[in-house]
Amino acid sequence: MVGFILHRAFWAIPTLIFVSLISFFIIQLPPGDYVTAYVAQLRNGGEYVTLAQEEALRQSMGLNDPIIVQYWRWISDIVCRGDFGQSLEWNAPVGTLIWDRLGLTLAISTLSMLFTWAIAIPVGVYSATRQYSVFDYLFTVFGFLGKGIPDFLLALVLMWIGFAYMQIDVGGLFSPEYQTAPWSFDKVINLLSHLWIPIVVLATGGAAGLIRVMRANMLDELGKPYVETAYAQGLSERQVVWNYPVRVALNPFISTVGWALPALFSGDVITAVVLNLPTTGPLLLKALQMQDMYLAGSFILILSVFTVIGTLVSDVLLAWSDPRIRYA
């Protein structure tokens, strides 16, 4: 088991180096750079910027340096000092911008993931053990609708329901009077009153897909000889189902840790924009639009780290739950 973990961890290091290098280059592939986008905004606002001023801005930000020099300056600061650089768009440290939004992002993503699993696992098990029942058909319809309805459309519908029929503030995570207020019990309650919409939106699509996966895996396992042997030994249905086939059918859930960790960090970008959530997703979108390479590159690097760690954790958990995987 230790050798399996070390082997996986060894390949994580070159993977992160390669991803950081490629992502930094890809961010700069579109024509122009941050100064090009910034000057275009100024000119659209009626301000006049000369070519000399534009070039001076580019020189002061180090954008005239070769890409490999810019990459080395950025990555060496991260590795040696933990400094992710200065955001060109926000004129603030990248680390500060990310960590300021990370808490709420993790809270929303974690709650939505737990809500997803709390729905998908028992519903998937029930649908498999009661195949072709009325509720199985209902859950199947829910699965198709959940996968077919875009998250942003569901968000808009729930916002309309909340505003029109429940008389609550929609959009954002706080009412206006609590936006800048210090944390208190009332502010937490206000947060919870806004939190249900993004959690339901984010959980619906994920739960719909995982229900189908859990149902299919359970149906595969329920027909195997070891299940019939367990019934023959006099065990109850609950003991047989939850102690044996469910454990094997949960492997896909364990494997989703690989993308669940980066999803916790980034959240759903489109849903966050529609709901005006102060999470990391809209910040990443803005950084990509403005070619803010240090902010966007840091985002992608952190997402890559979370992906590699999540994949390593899922590999270890799968190897622990199913020893056959260790030799695959």
Quick one: average pLDDT of 204-228? 85
Closest CA to 116 of 268, 239, 222: 268
Which ranges of 34-91 would DSSP assign to H, the alpha helix? Answer: 34-44, 51-60, 67-81
Phi, psi of 86 (to 5 degrees): -110, 130
Distance, CA of 66 to CA of 321 (rounded, Å): 49
Domains of the chain, with CATH numbers?
94-327 (1.10.3720.10)
pLDDT tens string 307-323: 888 777 777 777 776 66
Confidence band, pLDDT 50/70/90 cuts, at residue 79: confident
Quick one: average pLDDT of 22-49? 82
Query: Using alpha carbons only, how large is the chain's radius of gyration in Å?
Result: 24
105 close to 265: Cβ distance less than 8 angstroms: yes
pLDDT tens string 128-174: 988 888 998 998 888 888 888 888 888 888 888 887 887 777 777 88
274 close to 156: Cβ distance less than 8 angstroms: yes
Q: Is 93 helix (H, G, I), strand (E, B) or coil?
A: strand
Q: What is the pLDDT of residue 258?
A: 67
Name the percent of the chain lying above pLDDT 70: 94
Q: What is the pLDDT of residue 323?
A: 63
Q: What is the pLDDT of residue 209?
A: 83
173 close to 101: Cβ distance less than 8 angstroms: no
Distance, CA of 233 to CA of 225 (rounded, Å): 12
Q: What is the pLDDT of residue 159?
A: 84
Q: What is the pLDDT of residue 327?
A: 52
Q: What element of type H or E holds 181?
A: none
316 close to 5: Cβ distance less than 8 angstroms: yes
Q: Interhelix angle for 67-81 vs 293-321, to 10°?
A: 60
Confidence band, pLDDT 50/70/90 cuts, at residue 4: low
Q: What is the pLDDT of residue 131?
A: 87
Statement: residue 280 has pLDDT above 70: yes
209 close to 146: Cβ distance less than 8 angstroms: yes
Q: What is the pLDDT of residue 328?
A: 52
Place of tokens 């000119």: 43
